[in-house]
Amino acid sequence: MTKGKGKPKSQLPRADPGFWLKATTPSAPRTTLADQADAYVLYRESVQAPRKEVRTLANIYRDMYDRYEGPILKAAQTKPNEYASRLQPDAADELAALDLSERVPRRASTLREDFCGTAALCQEWVQAHVNNTAIGVDIDPQVIQYAQTHTLADAGIAAQVRLVLGNVLTIDAALSRLSAQDATTQDCTIHSGQHQPSPLPKAHVIASLNYALFYFHERQKLVQYLRVSYANLNSFGILVADAFGGTRLFNDLPRTKTRSMGTYTYHFEYRSFDALTNLGRYAIHFEFCDGSWIRNHFTYTFRIYSLAELREAMLEAGFYRVHIWVAGAQASTSPQDAHPGTQRHQGPPRTRKHSGHEKQGPTNSSSRRRPPSHLYQANDTESDQSRVTSSDPDDLASDDDDTREYEEVGCQPLPAAEHFNGGYYQG
């Protein structure tokens, strides 16, 4: 946990051009830069922007609370009989079952990061506020081990993050069957000695980012995951996912997008797309100034779902509302084109000021600034990434570019805003 002045530990140093190199002993023979590089650090620098993602997640939650939960609870507490008479029967039943004495917080404090990888988002989440906690779930033992020994090496941060190795579809059921004496099964392994093998707590925010929904090649599995996510949210909670799409997924394949990161070059390869199965294959490579490469360290096979398919799956899984934000120039597209039957919102939502009775809690880094008023404006004077240059015009609105603004283009309409869980995804 970072204390005092200065930049937080999560922000990698910029002065040393070899910050991505693995630690080596003086007697180690000199090899290529590719042999010495830490691919997970390269990935974080060239693809991820965890600080901005944490800011966006917190702002989305607060904005959804201000839109729906706050007015609902106020009306239900001041005029419960009059309010309940206006509800649909299912909404009235849910309102009656809701414990209004349990205050729903306006600030999200619990995050669950599914497909967490090296848990960079978990780390940044707990550093954003001293009361924040996070859960990271991933099926890959190598990245979980890396997260434990590198990302969460600080004992203070590790105490606020629970890492679990397991399948996101079965991990919760497996943990429910575990006893305190049996911390390891075929289904899951607890990777932190500070946490007992108890069922995972429900979260205010579930993040399924880096196109994680597209790992599910069968729609049945996608809906199953969304139902599991719905069950793991608090009475008011949100699921946030990003969508992988665009015409470049289908045209002029194979092709490669390159971005110069200063001391190395990031390559994203669009390999192939099968129109019969909607399966696309992609890979990430890194090229270094000495001519060496890290090839195919990250490879993906995605089932490409449309926005309409994702929306339908979320509603089928039980979510009451689905909001869509589209980035960059795509935001000017007619919402009917991207999302039939929805009404365009005029401009992106903006956060409201904190209410007088709610205190702004301390953060784990004194260098943190308050989130910008623009909910989804990603550009900032302090970037999570190195300066990026590219000759590819598509990079101006690339999938991993953090200098974009998100505009809300649609929300699945309901008769009224009486429900308490929401599903969301970003484009």
Residue 334 lies in a domain: yes
341-368: average pLDDT: 35
Helical (H) or strand (E) element with 121: helix 120-128
Q: How confident is the model at residue 367 (pLDDT cuts 50, 70, 90)?
A: very low
* Position 302 pLDDT exceeds 80: yes
Q: Could you tell me the two tokens for 6? A: 């200065």
Percent of the chain with pLDDT over 70: 57
State the pLDDT at residue 79: 57
Q: Tell me, yes or no, whether 113 and 174 share the same domain.
A: yes
What is the per-residue pLDDT across 203-223, written as a single tens digit (0 to 9) for each?
999 999 999 999 999 999 999
Task: Tell me, yes or no, whether 241 and 261 share the same domain.
Answer: no
Under a CB-based contact definition with an 8 Å cutoff, are residues 424 and 204 in contact?
A: no
Cα–Cα distance measured from residue 305 to residue 136, given in angstroms and rounded to the nearest whole number: 25
Please say if the pLDDT value at position 257 is more than 90: yes
Query: What pLDDT band is residue 405 in, cutting at 50, 70 and 90?
Result: low
Looking at the fold, whether 258 and 394 belong to one and the same domain comes out as no
Q: Which of 263, 282, 303 is the last residue of a domain?
A: 303
The pLDDT assigned to 23 comes to 62
> Does pLDDT of 390 surpass 50?
no
The whole-number pLDDT of residue 416 equals: 34
- ∠ CA 161-166-171, rounded to 5°: 90
Kindly state whether residues 326 and 385 are assigned to the same domain: yes
> For position 235, what pLDDT does the model report?
85
- Which of 166-175, 192-201, 334-343, 417-426 is predicted most confidently? 166-175
Task: Average the pLDDT over 256-268 and give the result.
Answer: 95
Q: What is the mean pLDDT of residues 32-44?
A: 95
In this predicted structure, the answer to whether residue 94 has a pLDDT above a threshold of 60 is no
pLDDT number for residue 106: 86
Tokens 């880094």 belong to which residue? 365
143 and 260 both lie in a single domain: no
Q: Is the domain of 87 the same as that of 180?
A: yes
- Percent residues over pLDDT 90 in the chain: 48
The answer to whether residue 232 scores a pLDDT higher than 70 is yes
- The length of the chain in residues reads 427
In this structure, the answer to whether residues 126 and 270 fall within a common structural domain is no
- Our count of domains for the chain comes to 2
Pairwise CA distance, residues 43 & 61, whole Å: 27
Amino acid 282: pLDDT: 97
Q: Please, which pLDDT band fits residue 131 given cuts at 50, 70 and 90? A: very high
pLDDT for residue 190 is more than 90: no
pTM passes above 0.85: no
| Res 246: pLDDT | 77
Could you tell me the pLDDT band of residue 15, with boundaries at 50, 70 and 90?
very low
Q: pLDDT band for 320, please (50, 70, 90 cuts).
A: confident
Q: Are strands 406-411 and 322-327 parallel, antiparallel or unpaired?
A: antiparallel
Per-residue model confidence as pLDDT tens digits over 53-86: 999 999 999 998 888 876 666 665 565 555 555 4
Q: Are residues 141 and 227 in the same domain?
A: yes
Residues 393 and 410 in one domain: yes
Q: Is residue 7 part of a domain?
A: no
| Mean local confidence (pLDDT), 101-130 | 91
Same domain, 352 and 212: yes
- What integer pLDDT is reported at residue 247 of this predicted model? 75
CATH code of 294's domain: 2.20.25
Domain end (from 303, 328, 350)? 303
Two structure tokens written together for 215: 């790992």
Strand order in the sheet with 133-138: 188-190, 161-166, 133-138, 110-114, 203-208, 233-242, 421-426, 322-327, 406-411
- pLDDT above 60 for 107: yes
- Rounded-to-integer distance, Cα 411 and Cα 71, Å: 18
Same domain assignment for residues 410 and 268: no
Residue 166: pLDDT over 80: yes
What integer is the mean pLDDT of 11-28?
A: 58
Copy the structure tokens of residue 204. 């205010």
Q: Is 5 within a domain?
A: no
CATH code for position 211: 3.40.50.150
Residues 372 and 417 in one domain: yes
Domain containing 287 equals: 248-303
Within 10 A of 184 (CB to CB), how many other CB atoms are there? 11
Q: Domain end: 273, 303, 333, which one? A: 303
